[in-house]
């Protein structure tokens, strides 16, 4: 999928567009635009903690997901991530959007008001808005 640097918001909008109006207004869910800088041989996601706060997910889970998906290593500091190598900012943005789709948005109503619940050996993503569940692999 080819995505320009400016498509982050439209990708998120597309993911959110099916949210029923009453739910999207209630949740007022917005995500900060990733602030990415390439410095020498590393790539810095400067506002990682803001993004994680908006996601309301475990920072380490998001961090590990990004490393796996981008196929690189990196380190997490207070508010930012340093990726090893020069990673195109649009790839990082795409992976953040795919995390949102995979681990946050409800599969039925697309609301972002979800949380993980354990059931036997599986983890389900449970929607607080409509009650739907779907299995997720953590």
Is 127 near Zn ion (CB under 5 A)? Answer: yes
Of the chain, the end-to-end C-alpha distance in Å amounts to 24
Side by side, the strands of the sheet bearing 133-136 are 114-119, 122-127, 133-136
- Pick one of 129, 134, 136, 138: the residue that binds Zn ion (CB under 5 A): 129
The correct pick among 38, 54, 132, 136 for binding Zn ion (CB under 5 A) is 132
Which residue in the set 38, 54, 109, 124 belongs to the binding site for Zn ion (CB under 5 A)? 109
Asked if 46 and 82 touch (Cβ cutoff 8 Å), the reply is no
DSSP 8-state secondary structure symbol assigned to residue 128: T
Judged by CB under 5 A, which stretch of 6-14, 52-60, 88-96, 130-138 contacts Zn ion? 130-138
Instruction: Name the site residues for Zn ion (rule: CB under 5 A).
Output: 106, 108-109, 111, 127, 129-130, 132
């Amino acid at each position: 999928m080819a995505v320009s640097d400016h498509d982050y918001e439209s990708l998120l909008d597309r993911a959110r567009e099916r949210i029923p109006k009453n739910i999207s207004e209630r949740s007022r869910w917005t995500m900060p635009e990733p602030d990415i800088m390439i410095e020498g041989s590393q790539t810095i996601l400067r506002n990682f903690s803001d993004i994680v706060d908006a996601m309301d997910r475990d920072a380490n889970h998001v961090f590990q997901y990004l490393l796996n998906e981008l196929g690189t290593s990196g380190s997490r500091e207070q508010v930012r991530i340093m990726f090893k190598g020069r990673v195109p900012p649009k790839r990082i943005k795409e992976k953040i959007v795919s995390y949102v789709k995979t681990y946050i948005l409800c599969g039925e109503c697309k609301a972002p008001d979800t949380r993980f619940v354990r059931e036997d050996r599986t983890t389900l993503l449970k929607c607080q808005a409509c009650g739907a569940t779907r299995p997720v692999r953590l």
